[in-house]
Structure 1
Amino acid sequence: MKKAALFYITLFLLILAFTITADYFDYDIWARLIAGMGVIDGGHVLKADFLSYTPVHTWWDHEWGSGVIFYFFLKYFGPQSLIFLQSVLFFAIFFIASKVIKVRSNISPYNILFYFFAVMAVMYNFNCPVRCHMFSFLFFTLYIYIFELARKGNNKPLFLIPLITILWNNIHGGVVAGIGLMGMYALGEFLNRRPYKKYLLTLVISAITLFINPWGYEYIKFLLMANTMERTHIVEWWGLFSKYHLFKQIPFKLFMLGSLAVESVYIFKNIKSEGFKQWYNNADKVKYIVLLSTLYLAISHVKLLPFFAIASVCFIYEDFFKLIGNVELPKWKDKAVYILLIAVSIFTLSAKEISLPVGLKNYPVKEVEFVKINNLKGRILVNFGLGSYVSYKLYPDNLIFMDGRYEEVYYDYMVPMLKEFCLAYPHWKEILEYFPPDIIIIENYYPIYNVLKASNDWKLVYEGDIFGVFVPKDKASEKFKMPTNDINYYKNTLFNTGINFN
């Protein structure tokens, strides 16, 4: 009991220490807060966009429930609670994973070092408070736990799956991962020649519950489209070994290769001692189907790599400690590891104040303040990921071209058009002709920045470290006020908004 308590306390401190080092809030959180505001303050789920000056369709918000949770925490517990919420969700994933290990094996699930490497592997994905997909990773782990209980003969928790599916479906569109997991368990148990129909029945009932959502049947069509569409313009949906990510995500790649090496050695040893046929008959097909499926997701899309990290903790942890079971390690090893991890966590927590990450290098914070204090109203053209932040801060005085809600709200041609503009491709002027803005806020590392600076039509009226504000030359003025450099001002006003549903 004492070892378990020490393990969980250390794991939570480690995760909390990592979480507070975040430099900025997730780019999508602003749209989530607006959606949550609509439900809590306005009393209804938002189904129509009001933030954009461009053509939009029905707002198919597959994350509306996350927005309600985020805004609830912000409204009643303050901005810092969002950072704490991220830590709790992060911790809960690995807490449940440890319970999976306990169900599957007699080996102690409390070896902190294995979890440390898993935490490091997903830090890049989990380091921006707070993202909706955290709920999908949490529910995915919970489903594994419930299914493993069912494999041990405890079938009662299976009745919870359809109810949780309703909740998951209305919190995040990643619910399809849960449906897929049910299929994996059904197929795996069929190959194991064990009872599998209960997983198929659970799958069918859970699939039917997907219709319980604010949009009904039409939402299911959207969900299928959203989970099968290509997102070639969004880097987090690119492959793990794509040119952009080739030298990124190093901790995860090391963890992935280490996990695969462990499992390969484990399989090789068993085949060598038992023979292939006997190994195949004894092998847990569920385990290998889940591992291979999540490995495919991780390699195909960087955004989805936590699924493999979770599966590795649930299924490879046991095999790793079986392999090293006969290796005698120094008795002081565990104490040294705990002392080191606790010391690093406490040092980080004491050295870095749990304050709001303003994200001056990630958001046009001062640029938005410039627009606000100079009362520059109208249509703003800003990059894809920054749109919801601009809306949150400047609506109703300003409308945006688009934001990160992408397929939820906008048409397919808009992201390619924005890319054409940012990279100053031959048809970059199309966006200005079809959807003329009154203000442009753009990063200075895009080619269009210097094109606009040299333009006879646009004037750079404010230049920050990363972003610049452009207005038509006839609207420029020498009397424009400059935004303050006081970082505390931006921290104190970070979540201020002009949006009001009361």
Structure 2
Amino acid sequence: MEKKEIPFISRLFLPSIFDLIVVLVFVIMFMAHQTMKDFDMWWHLRTGQVLLQGIFPTTDIFSFTAYGKPWILHEWGSEVIFYLLNKTFGAGSIMLLRALLAAFSLGMVFKIMMRKRIDIFVALFLTIITLFATSKIWGERPHLFTVLFLTFLIYLYNEYKYYNNNKVLLVLPVLFIVWINLHGGYVIGFIYLGACIAAETFNNFFQFNKDDVFPQSRINRLIGITALSFLCTFINPNTYRGVLYPLLYVGDKMPDFHKIIQEWMVSSWENSKDFVLVFLFVISMLSLSSIKPKLDELALILVFGYFAFSAQRHVPLFVIVVLPIIAPQVQGTMAHFFDSFFQVAPHKGKQTIQKIINYFKDRSDNFVCLEEKLSIHGTLVVFIAIVSFFVLSGKLDKPLGIGIDKTVYPYEVVDYLKTKKLNGNMFNQYRWGGYLIWELPDNKVFIDGRLDIFQKKGMDEYYKVMGLQNGWEEVLKKYNINYILVDKEQTISKFLLRVSNDWFLEKEDKKALLFSRK
């Protein structure tokens, strides 16, 4: 019997599972995080403001410790977007953008699995795991664009390899032009493509997996478009410096991120239980399933697994890349489990369970077919439009408490400093540097989140003062520091408050202490 074509009006407004996932994740993300908590957002906003004033800094302009040192604005596009949104609509617009980027990223993970004809319930299960395992990455920062673009890249690669869709390759140069102008994480895309190309070339030459040999002509086409995409990354205001930016994090001049920055620390059970559990899940599925991963999939698991173990910030990338890869293994293992269960289950209960499984299987097959036809996403567009109207109009600010999280910033002290002309420079806590750049534009900071500028020397001086290490007072004298703004719980706070005779407490609030030199 021939299936009836779905009327256009139904395809326009009937939501797909993709639509529902995007809506659900958006609601979760938006309701769970309604205040700006990311400490780096503030210097991003100030940078966006400077850029829109017609100035494109190539050296530091915000600090007195690194003033004039080379500064590569690898996130300039994101910073302009953030500033325009915040200026025009307020903090709620940034929360809206954050939730939308997260929602579409998770939606794309689901879509990748559905395109592989994975059982819808398996795809939903793995998407939920992805949601929880990537929870640490969804702060309001430019790297959200890298996460979204990575999901696009995975989808495009799969379309090219498995569905012979050559046209999708034309999107890659454009994708990378946009990517490099929004975030320096564009290099992740080339690592992904490089791993796939290397694995496919190796397999084509040695016939490691004869059932999955990618024709050399198609590999060459992928190599060519990847090379063109790389050349296109030079289309950015920083030209070659923007392309080479990721290399700044390698070398003796940079601080040891693995020891001082939480997100750069090596992943372990103590700090990344979610990742360890996901990794064990991946290994168990690959071990139990009779479906062996293809060589390019194995290469991606190894490469992104290495990155995930080397730094916590890379864990979400591993999850997003790897879970769709092992979806067939998960589906096969679950099917094998139920087959084994039916062999030993009592006859009476077996029939009931079999009916339930068949019911969901039939529904899953129908959903897969329906999902492919519901590609207009009219309901999703309407939902986003309505929510955007209420958020951008400010109607939800008070009911939802949208704004700044005053519990993590020296809010009252900064208000006090706005009325005071500083006689000398101020030492500040690292995480508050961006906030001070935004709130006190006439004053330069000691340090902020731009570690590529301050490098190892700047971080060493910072920790020398914070830890009252030998020579800490010389650092203060070197930079003519007459004010110190730090958290109440820091060692230096207690020392200056109780022991030192050279400093007095000028102002305090619930979070911070401001000391002045006597």
TM-score by length of 2: 0.77
The answer to whether the 8 A contact 1:459-1:470 is kept is yes
The answer to whether the 8 A contact 2:466-2:490 is kept is yes
Give the whole-Å Cα distance in 2 for the aligned partners of 1:204 and 1:116: 35
Give the whole-Å Cα distance in 2 for the aligned partners of 1:262 and 1:471: 60
Give the whole-Å Cα distance in 2 for the aligned partners of 1:190 and 1:165: 23
- The change in CA–CA distance for 1:133 and 1:321 in structure 2 (over 3 A counts) is same
User: C-alpha displacement at 1:5, in angstroms?
Assistant: 2.7
Give the whole-Å Cα distance in 2 for the aligned partners of 1:445 and 1:180: 42
Structure with higher RCO (Cα < 8 A, 6+ apart):
2
Larger Rg: 2
Alignment-derived partner of residue 433 in structure 2: 387
- Is 1:224 the counterpart of 2:250? The answer is no
Name whichever of 432-441 and 192-201 sits farther off.
192-201
- Is 1:165 the counterpart of 2:176? The answer is yes
Q: 2:261 aligns with which of 214, 234, 238?
A: 234
Give the whole-Å Cα distance in 2 for the aligned partners of 1:333 and 1:304: 35
Alignment-derived partner of residue 256 in structure 1: 279
Give the whole-Å Cα distance in 2 for the aligned partners of 1:364 and 1:377: 20
Cα-to-partner distance string for 1:105-160 (whole Å, 9 max, x where unaligned): 3533774333222111111221x3x1111111111111111111110210111122
Give the whole-Å Cα distance in 2 for the aligned partners of 1:54 and 1:366: 25
Q: 2:148 aligns with which of 101, 117, 138?
A: 138
The answer to whether the 8 A contact 1:188-1:289 is kept is yes
The answer to whether the 8 A contact 1:424-1:448 is kept is yes
Q: 1:215 aligns with which of 226, 235, 238?
A: 238
The answer to whether the 8 A contact 2:75-2:184 is kept is yes
Give the whole-Å Cα distance in 2 for the aligned partners of 1:197 and 1:353: 56
Q: Which runs of 5+ in 2 are unaligned?
A: 1-10, 205-213, 339-352, 364-390
- Is 1:247 the counterpart of 2:259? The answer is no
Q: 2:64 aligns with which of 37, 53, 63?
A: 53
Alignment-derived partner of residue 499 in structure 1: none
Q: Which amino acid aligns with 2:135?
A: M
The answer to whether the 8 A contact 1:124-1:249 is kept is no
Cα-to-partner distance string for 1:195-221 (whole Å, 9 max, x where unaligned): 322222122212222222212233434
Give the whole-Å Cα distance in 2 for the aligned partners of 1:333 and 1:376: 69
The answer to whether the 8 A contact 1:185-1:199 is kept is no
Aligned length: 437
Give the whole-Å Cα distance in 2 for the aligned partners of 1:147 and 1:109: 24
Q: 2:514 aligns with which of 454, 457, 469?
A: 469
- Is 1:149 the counterpart of 2:193? The answer is no
Q: 1:21 aligns with which of 18, 28, 32?
A: 32
Q: 1:459 aligns with which of 457, 479, 504?
A: 504
- The change in CA–CA distance for 1:25 and 1:236 in structure 2 (over 3 A counts) is same
- Is 1:404 the counterpart of 2:449? The answer is yes
Give the whole-Å Cα distance in 1 for the aligned partners of 2:146 and 2:495: 42
Alignment-derived partner of residue 298 in structure 1: 308
Give the whole-Å Cα distance in 1 for the aligned partners of 2:22 and 2:169: 29
- Superposed counterparts of 1:38-49, under 5 Å: 38-40=50-52, 42-49=53-60
Alignment-derived partner of residue 87 in structure 1: 99
User: C-alpha displacement at 1:253, in angstroms?
Assistant: 3.1
- The change in CA–CA distance for 1:212 and 1:79 in structure 2 (over 3 A counts) is same
Give the whole-Å Cα distance in 2 for the aligned partners of 1:262 and 1:185: 21
- Superposed counterparts of 1:485-500, under 5 Å: none
User: C-alpha displacement at 1:224, in angstroms?
Assistant: 2.1
User: C-alpha displacement at 1:231, in angstroms?
Assistant: 2.2
Q: 1:445 aligns with which of 484, 489, 494?
A: 489
Give the whole-Å Cα distance in 1 for the aligned partners of 2:278 and 2:234: 38
Q: Which amino acid aligns with 2:428?
A: V
Q: Which amino acid aligns with 2:310?
A: S
- For the residue of structure 2 that corresponds to 1:470, the secondary structure is strand
Cα-to-partner distance string for 1:287-322 (whole Å, 9 max, x where unaligned): 111122111111111111111110133212232122
Q: Which amino acid aligns with 1:59?
A: W
- For the residue of structure 1 that corresponds to 2:147, the secondary structure is helix
Give the whole-Å Cα distance in 2 for the aligned partners of 1:143 and 1:111: 19
Q: Which amino acid aligns with 1:86?
A: R
The answer to whether the 8 A contact 2:424-2:480 is kept is no
- The change in CA–CA distance for 1:377 and 1:172 in structure 2 (over 3 A counts) is farther
User: C-alpha displacement at 1:227, in angstroms?
Assistant: 5.8
Alignment-derived partner of residue 105 in structure 1: 117
Percent identity reads: 24
Give the whole-Å Cα distance in 2 for the aligned partners of 1:389 and 1:295: 34
Alignment-derived partner of residue 5 in structure 1: 16
- Is 1:177 the counterpart of 2:200? The answer is no
Alignment-derived partner of residue 132 in structure 2: 120
Alignment-derived partner of residue 360 in structure 1: 406
- For the residue of structure 1 that corresponds to 2:106, the secondary structure is helix
Cα RMSD for the two superposed structures: 2.8
The answer to whether the 8 A contact 2:118-2:331 is kept is no
The answer to whether the 8 A contact 1:179-1:206 is kept is no
User: C-alpha displacement at 1:24, in angstroms?
Assistant: 4.0
The answer to whether the 8 A contact 2:74-2:245 is kept is no
The answer to whether the 8 A contact 2:101-2:148 is kept is yes
Give the whole-Å Cα distance in 1 for the aligned partners of 2:190 and 2:249: 15
Give the whole-Å Cα distance in 2 for the aligned partners of 1:132 and 1:354: 24
Cα-to-partner distance string for 1:399-441 (whole Å, 9 max, x where unaligned): 211211121x334300111011111222222320211223211
Alignment-derived partner of residue 379 in structure 2: none
Q: Which runs of 5+ in 1 are unaligned?
A: 271-278, 336-348, 474-502
Name whichever of 187-196 and 13-22 sits farther off.
13-22
Give the whole-Å Cα distance in 2 for the aligned partners of 1:150 and 1:91: 24
Q: 1:420 aligns with which of 464, 485, 490?
A: 464
The answer to whether the 8 A contact 1:291-1:308 is kept is yes
The answer to whether the 8 A contact 1:118-1:255 is kept is no
- For the residue of structure 1 that corresponds to 2:236, the secondary structure is coil
